[in-house]
Structure 1
Amino acid sequence: MLLNTPICDFGWKAPDFTLKDPDDNSYTLSEQLGDKGLLIAFICNHCPYVQAIADRFVDDVKELQAQGINVLAVMSNDYRYVEIDSPPFMKRYAKEKGFTFPYLVDEDQSVGRAYNAVCTPDFFGFNKYGELQYRGRIDDAAMGNPSNRTKELVNAMKQISQTRKGPEHQTASMGCSIKWS
């Protein structure tokens, strides 16, 4: 089912969490909030919307990381329902795509629910205080040709890192619904 994300709730405080990657390494949100902010991306392996943007996302993340902005990806789907989203497939997908950021398993879906994540991809851009400043799409290319795109997510995160405030105008991300248990 195709869904759009809600508009950004500016200043909403990120609930802390600790999640593990498929190799059992733990990551805690409060430890990932850097001076330049944090991007949390709710993604999965099987969604055609995520697959369409995956290469762009990986490139954009490298650009953000070079600016000192931290990134976490969270997989909240019930992988018993969609096996290709299970941890072994997450690990393989991350390697194939060249992820330079942790890809975390939200086993009990509590993080996805706490963040009111609705679809994959669903991007949350936080300032260094853990205040939400961006909830929008990656760019204006959608599922089309990305050769001449506006990097809305990159631009927003750079603005957040410099001013601690996100852009006033944001366009919702769209994607597949999260598969809740």
Structure 2
Amino acid sequence: MAVSPPVCEFGWHAPDFALPATDGKTYTLAEIAGPRGALIMFICNHCPYVLAVLDRIQRDASDLQEIGIGVAAICSNDADAYPADSFEKMAELAQERGFSFPYLHDETQEVARAWNAACTPDFFGFNAEGGLQYRGRLDASGKNPAPADAPCDLFEAMKQVADTGQGPRDQIPSMGCSIKWKAA
């Protein structure tokens, strides 16, 4: 069932984290942030919504890194129930796809809960001061990619954040699979 996150809470400051990445390092939010902002994406390996746009995510992440936006992805899914989202499989995907950004593992799901992450993909775009400015979609894609000439909502919004410190006031929420929470 498709899930959408809540609308952007402008100015919200995310709780910090220290998460292991598939490159063998541990990253904090401060280490990921670039001089003009940060983009944190909750994704996973098995979600059809993520897989449909993974090439576009990589393209936009690389382009945003070039303009000073730090980028990372986090997988918070229950890997016991969804083995395709295990840390080992995350490392394989990151290497196969040549991610230009760290792919972090939130095994305890504490970060996803603290951030109120709702789905994969779920995008959190911050300005240079660490205030949330974007919580919208990548583009018009769903389980299938949007046309190649579809507007790049995420990239355009984050470019605006990099240039002005402010995100667009009108944002269309992302849509995807729910975070796969561990049983209580």
TM-score, normalised on structure 1?
A: 0.96
Which residue pairs with 1:138 in the alignment? 138
1:128-170 per-residue CA deviation (whole Å, 9 max, x = no partner) reads: 1111000000012432443111011001111111111100110
C-alpha distance in 2, partners of 1:145/1:13?
31
Which residue pairs with 1:11 in the alignment? 11
Counterpart amino acid of residue 84 in structure 1? A
Is the aligned partner of 1:25 residue 2:25?
yes
Q: CA RMSD in A?
A: 1.1
C-alpha distance in 2, partners of 1:109/1:164?
29
Q: Please, which moves more after superposition, 142-151 or 60-69?
A: 142-151
Q: Please, which moves more after superposition, 79-88 or 89-98?
A: 89-98
Counterpart amino acid of residue 83 in structure 2? E
Identity %: 53
Counterpart amino acid of residue 129 in structure 1? E
What SS does the aligned partner of 2:148 have?
Answer: helix
Which residue pairs with 1:166 in the alignment? 167
Asked whether the equivalents of residues 33 and 129 of structure 1 are also in contact (C-alpha less than 8 Å), the reply is no
Asked whether the equivalents of residues 38 and 127 of structure 1 are also in contact (C-alpha less than 8 Å), the reply is yes
What SS does the aligned partner of 1:150 have?
Answer: coil
Unpaired runs of at least 5, structure 1: none
Which residue pairs with 1:68 in the alignment? 68
Which residue pairs with 1:99 in the alignment? 99
Unpaired runs of at least 5, structure 2: none
Is the aligned partner of 1:2 residue 2:18?
no
* Stretches (4+) displaced over 4 A: none
Q: Cα distance, 1:97 vs. partner? A: 1.8
The 5-angstrom pairing of residues 83-122 of structure 1 reads: 83-122=83-122
Which residue pairs with 1:148 in the alignment? 149
Q: Cα distance, 1:34 vs. partner? A: 2.3
Q: Cα distance, 1:23 vs. partner? A: 4.3
Number of aligned residues = 181
